[in-house]
Structure 1
C-alpha cells in the first residue's frame, strides 16, 4: 500500500473521528444549501417590519420560505446523501409530513426524518433487488417507493412530528433560559475547544442554526447564529500571534487573520491553537465577551453568517442590532488579543528551528517535517485537497496548489472536496492531520496516497508537493 503522511501527525482517537463524522453529516445537510439560507436571511433583514427596508409585499416571502422551502431542502439533501435521488425525493416527502403536522420550523425534524426515510428506502431496495422478473423493475421501484413514502409521511405527520415539536419546544425553552439568565456566554467553554477539533460546522449548522431559526421566526433575529460564526475572537488571537508569536506562526498569522476576518475561512485559525493549545483560553475569553455584549446590546443576525466573515455578519444584521453586533465583534477581538498577548509574552520556549527534515525517496522536506512515501513512484495526475466541509480551507489550499503547479507548468488536476464526498480516481489526497483518519477510513483503497498537513496556508508544504509531482514526472 502506497501511503503518505507527515511524521508526527496526531490523528486523534477513534471516538473523535466518529464525532467529527456525525457532526459533518449534520452540517452536510445544510452546507450545500447555504446560499439559499443567506438569500432568505437577506430577505428577512431587508423587508420584515423591523428590517432596513420594511415592505409588507416583499416581506410575505419570508415566512413560506422558512416554513416550507428550507426544511424541504434539508430533508432532500439528507436523503440524497444516504440514498441518492430516490432517498432525496423520499426525504423531502417525509419532511412535508412533519411541516404540515407541526407549528414550528421543522429544520431539526428534516435532519432526522430525511436521512431516516432514505435509509429505510435503501434497505427495502436492497432486499427487493433481484427478486422479480425482468421487466417489472420500474413497477416495483415506483410502488415500493410510494408505499414507503405513504407510511413514513403518515408516521411523520401523526407521531414523529409532534415528538420533534415537543423536543424543539424543550430545547428552545432551555436556550431562552440561558439567555434570560445571562449564562449563554459560558457556552464558550465548550465551543472554543470544539472549533479547533473541527467540530465547528457541526455546532454552527447542526445545532445553532435550527434553534436560531426558531428565534428568528419569533423575534426577527438570534444571537445563536453568532456563537460559532463570529470570527472576532479568533482574529484577535491571530493578531496577537502576529505581534508576539514566534517562528513560522508569527510569519503566517497576519495572512491567516485577514483570511479569517474578511474571507470567513475559520479553519485557518485552528493550526495556530493546535500548535499552542493554551491559546484556546484567549479565544474562549473573546467568545464569552462577544456573547455578553450581543445579549446586553440586542445583537444578533437573521441567519448564519457563512462564510463567517465580518462582512457576512454585517450583511445579515437586522435594523436595530448593528450597534450590538459591532461592539460585540470588536470587544471579543480585543479581549482575545489581550489574553493571547499575555500568554505569548509569558512563553519562554524557543521558536522551533526551521530546518529541513529527513527526505523520503522522492519528496522535499517541509518546515522541518518529513513526508514519508514508501513505494510511491507513479505520476500524480489528480490531487484532491479535502477538509471537513469542502468549502473553506480545502478550497483555499486547492487554489494555492493549483497556481503553483500552473507556474511550474505541470498539468495536474487539483480539486477540493468534503472528506466524505471525495470522488474516486484520486492519486493523492491532502488533508489536515486531525482529519486524516477519516479520509483513510473512507478512501484508502490501497492505491491512493495521503498527505497530512498542519497548516493549509504554509507555502513550503505546497512547494514540497509540487516538487514531488515534478520528480515523479521525471522518474516515470
Structure 2
C-alpha cells in the first residue's frame, strides 16, 4: 500500500507538470483569445452575440470554463473600476433555462413534462443550471430558444447599463439579486423576466409544432437517454440529474405506449370509460379529472364515465384502467383502445389523450 500510494503521488505530480507545460500555453492562448473577443464585442456594442457561443457551451458543460475562465476575470476587473459588470450575468442568468422548463411544463410530453415543475425550483432558486440541459438535448433545436433568451437578457442589461458587483454563484435568482449593484435592480430583474419570456415563447412554438410527430415516435420524451447523454458530456454521474429522472418516473410521466397513438387514428374516440373493480372511488375521480380537461379543450362530442370492469361492454371506444387491471379490462372489451395509468388522479397521459383528440379534429 505504501509503495502504491507513493507511486500514485509521484506519477500524479509528473503528469501535472507535463500537463502544465504541454497544455498550459494552449489553454492560456484560448483564454486570451476569448478575452480579446469579449473586449471587441463590448467595444462594438455587440455583447448579446456572446449568447450564440455561451448557451450551446453551457449544454456541453463548457459553462464553467467560459464563465470562470473568461467572464469572471474580465468582470472582476470591470467591477473594481466601475462597481459592477454585465459579464457576471451573461452565463449566470437563470432566465433562458426557466423559459425552456416552463415550456415543457405546459407543452412537454411524458416524463419530461412530469419532472419539469420540480426542475424549475432546482434551476431557478437553486441555481443548478445543468438540470435543464437534458431537456435541450432531447430536442436540440431548443438551443435556439436558449440563445434567443440569453441574447434578450444581455441586450436588456446593455440597455439599462446594469450589472452585478461580483459573480453570482450558483446562478440562482437569489444569488443574482444578492450581487446586483444598487443602481441595477430594474435592469437585472427585467433581463431575467424578458429572457425567460422569449425562451418560453420560442420553446413553446417548437414543442407545439412537433407535438403530433413526437407522439408518433416511440422514443419521444426519452428523458432517461438525455440524462445519460448529459452525464457523458459532464464526464461523471450527477445526483441532481438522477433525482430528476426518479422524480419524473414517480410522477407517472410515461408516454402512451407504442401503438396507442396509431389506434386513435384508426378509430375515432367518442366514449371513454374509467374502469376499476368497483366502478367507484378512484375511477370516478379520474373520470372527473379527464372530463374537466376535455371540457376546457372545447371538446363536446366525447363522453367520459366510470364503471366496474365486470360491467364493461365491447361497444366503447377507449377504456382507462390502472396498470394492474388492464388485462382484465381487455378481456371484457377486446375491441376498445386501452390506456394504462398508475395514478388515476394525476397522470400525464390525460393530457396526451386530449392532445390526440384535438389533433384528430374531435370537437
TM-score by length of 1: 0.42
Q: Residue in 1 aligned with 2:17?
A: 119
Say whether 1:457 aligns with 2:253. Answer: no
User: Could you report, residue by residue, the CA deviation over 1:287-335 in whole angstroms, capped at 9, with x for unpaired residues?
Assistant: 0000000011011112211111011000001111111101111110111
Deviation at 1:369, TM superposition (A): 6.8
1:360-371 alignment, distance < 5 Å: none
Q: Which residue of 2 aligns with 1:248?
A: 111
Relative to 1, partners in 2 of residues 1:192 and 1:451: Cα closer, same or farther, differing over 3 Å?
closer
Equivalences for residues 78-97 of structure 1 within 5 A: none
Shift of 1:182: 2.0
> How many Å separate the matches in 1 of 2:141 and 2:204?
12
Cα deviation, 1:252-272, whole Å, max 9, x if unaligned, reads 111111210011110110010
Is the contact made by 1:297 and 1:324 (CA closer than 8 Å) also made in structure 2?
yes
Question: In 2, Cα distance between the equivalents of 1:218 and 1:451?
Answer: 38
- From the superposition, tell whether residues 316 and 353 of structure 1 become closer, same or farther in structure 2 (CA, over 3 Å): same
Distance in 2, matches of 1:368 and 1:265, equals 18
Aligned residues: 231
Contact 2:100 2:203 in 1 (8 A): yes
Any residues of structure 2 matched to 1:389-400 within 5 Å, and which? Answer: none
Shift of 1:434: 3.9
Instruction: Report the Cα distance in structure 1 between the residues aligned to 2:9 and 2:90, rounded to whole angstroms.
Output: 33
Alpha-carbon displacement from aligned partner over 1:231-285 (angstroms, at most 9, x marks no partner): 1111011101111111111111111112100111101100100111111110110
Looking at structure 2, the residues matched to 343 and 185 of structure 1 have their Cα atoms a distance apart, in angstroms, of: 22
Q: Which has the larger radius of gyration?
A: 2
Alignment of 1:265 onto 2:128: yes
C-alpha RMSD of matched pairs (Å): 3.9
Alpha-carbon distance, 1:351 to partner: 3.6
Residue 218 of structure 1 corresponds to 81
Do the aligned partners of 1:432 and 1:455 also contact (CA within 8 Å) in 2?
no
**Residue 433 in 1 paired to residue 232 in 2?**
no
- When residues 255 and 353 of structure 1 are mapped into structure 2, their CA distance, relative to the original with a 3 A threshold, is farther
Query: Aligned in 2, Cα 1:188/1:251: closer, same or farther, shift over 3 Å?
Result: same
Shift of residue 216, structure 1, vs aligned partner? 1.1
The unaligned stretches of length 5 or more in structure 2 are: 1-7, 251-363
Q: Equivalents in 2 of 1:368, 1:338: separation in Å?
A: 21
Where in structure 2 are the equivalents of 1:23-422 lying within 5 Å?
119=17, 174-347=37-210, 348-351=212-215
For the 8 Å contact 1:238–1:254, the answer to whether it is kept is yes
| Structure 2 CA distance for partners of 1:292 and 1:173, relative to 1, 3 Å | same
Mark the CA change 1:331 to 1:439 in structure 2 (over 3 Å): closer, same or farther: closer
Cα distance in 1 for residues equivalent to 2:115 and 2:218: 14
Equivalent pair of 2:111/2:223 in contact (CA under 8 Å): no
Alignment TM-score, normalising by the size of structure 2? 0.55
Shift of residue 368, structure 1, vs aligned partner: 9.6
Instruction: Note if contact 2:78-2:84 (Cα within 8 Å) is conserved in structure 1.
Output: yes
CA offset digits 1:175-204 (Å, max 9, x no partner): 343123221111111111111111111111
* 1:101-135 C-alpha deviation (Å, 9 max, x unpaired): xxxxxxxxxxxxxx99x728x99xxxxxxxxxxxx
Task: Indicate the larger mover: 244-253 or 281-290.
Answer: 244-253
In 2, Cα distance between the equivalents of 1:290 and 1:199? 20
